[in-house]
Amino acid sequence: MTSLTTQEFFRAARLLPPCLRTEVLNLPDDVAEGAEEIRLRTGRTPSVVIADDEVQILPSHIVTASELQLVLEIATRASAHTYADSIKMGFVTAEGGCRLGLCGTAVTDGNKISALRRLSSVCIRISREKRGCADAIYKGLTDGGFKSTLIISPPGGGKTTLLRELVRLLSDSGKRISLADERSEVAGTFEGQPCFDVGARTDVLTGAPKSEGIYLLLRSMAPQIIAFDEITSPLDIEAAETAANCGVSLLATAHGAGVFDLKQRDLYKKLVDKQIFRRAVIIENIKGKRRYTVEELS
């Protein structure tokens, strides 16, 4: 019997061209369960990322440019034009919430990237739903009422997975949540339907830039909590501040090693100093196991 994590690997493997898919589906279960990403580069053998290590798989298979093109075709359901905006930003979210990172030759219009042609690398990020991963910290985060919380970890640390689980738990506990899911990675929305369980009282906005999405959700959905993934620009911080000033709690993520690390960077310093967030969850990866620590910020 296949486990849930293996199923998620299989779902990601379905995005591969038939010849490669068959070989990847025959990989041992421990690889399938531990894999976080499948990476394809033209002229190289495919590899999977397991706990920060990139392991070469299928040494006899050399990835071709046409295979990468077919991966994109499968992920976009043969509709690259529908995903043109996200392709030029370097990603596509496929069915099941799997995110494809794309790399190739950029076509520019002035200083802006207008399209991505001749793919050279594709990174298929395996989206996982880990029920129960927030159990240890959930009580601490909701004691005395939920306060705005920032999840901090380095890239690939499991921020999105924890965010998704917290959104589900808070939503099912009765909170009305609006999720600004710019890249459809949290809810895995595909053709309007979230593929992951994000709770019964969660409204999901996909595709909109986070800052604009937050304003839209404030106006239209009267949320008690606004959740979003990856604060990356001053505009995101401005929108978060506006939402906090409107009495809405926030649940968001940021790249970093911890609160001290955030304070060292201009972008996040304001976020910490202005006390937009009251709590932080720091994720550490210790020998492949994740450890969550809750810190009070005020």
Partner 1 sequence: MKILGALLLVAACTLIGIGQAKKLYFRQRCLEGALDALRFMDAELKNAAVPIPEIFRNLIRLPDNKLSSFFNNLNTKMAGFGEESLADIWSGCVLNDRSISLSERQRQELCRVGTFLGRYSENEQSEAIAACIAHLEGELERTSEKAREGAKLYTGLGLTFGLMLATVLI
Q: Which two structure tokens, joined as six digits, stand for 141?
A: 């985060």
Among the listed residues 50, 70, 89, 106, the single contact to partner 1 using CB under 8 A:
70
112 binds partner 1 (CB under 8 A): no
76 binds partner 1 (CB under 8 A): yes
74 binds partner 1 (CB under 8 A): yes
Residue 127 is given by DSSP the state -
80 binds partner 1 (CB under 8 A): yes
Q: Which residues of 220-236 are buried (b: 16+ CB within 10 A; e: fewer)?
A: ebebbbbbbbbbeeeeb
Residue 292 is given by DSSP the state E
Q: Which two structure tokens, joined as six digits, stand for 11?
A: 């779902």
**Residues contacting residue 274 through CB under 8 Å, at least 6 positions apart:** 241
Q: How far is the CB of 205 from partner 1 (least distance, A)?
A: 19
- Residue 21 or 290 with smaller CB distance to partner 1: 21
- Residue 15 or 187 with smaller CB distance to partner 1: 15
Sites for partner 1 among residues 113-142 (CB under 8 A) = 115
77 binds partner 1 (CB under 8 A): yes
Burial of 46 (0-12, 13-18, 19+ CB in 10 A): buried
105 binds partner 1 (CB under 8 A): no
Sites for partner 1 among residues 217-236 (CB under 8 A) = none
Residue 38 is given by DSSP the state E
190 binds partner 1 (CB under 8 A): no
193 binds partner 1 (CB under 8 A): no
